[in-house]
Amino acid sequence: MVQAYILIQTEVGKASVVAETISKIPGIIQAEDVTGPYDVIVRAQADTVDDLGRMVVAKVQQVDGITRTLTCPVVHL
């Protein structure tokens, strides 16, 4: 299982709607709207890195109101 944090920038005033919409996507563990340079931070999981990438591109980035994403895979050193 691969997990990652997805840092999301949204259009002004769209953070809470984006977080709510993303939280319903299968594989999303948690989605929270936050303050700072990013508007929403998501914790996601998938079986493989490829599956995670497909989720981000095909599902997360397609949510209306998102302007940019940054995916940070969790590593265990």
Domains of the chain: 1-72 (3.30.70.920)
pLDDT for the residue 65: 97
Q: In which band, very low, low, confident or very high, does the pLDDT at 61 lie, cut at 50, 70 and 90?
A: very high
Query: What mean pLDDT is predicted for residues 21-48?
Result: 97
| DSSP conformational letter for 8 | E
Q: Which of 7, 1, 21, 17 is nearest to 76 (CA)?
A: 1
Under the banding of pLDDT at 50, 70 and 90, the label for residue 56 is very high
What pLDDT score does 40 carry?
Answer: 98
State mean pLDDT over 24-35. Answer: 97
User: On the CB side of 11, how many CA atoms lie within 13 Å of its CA?
Assistant: 8
Q: What is the pLDDT of residue 53?
A: 95
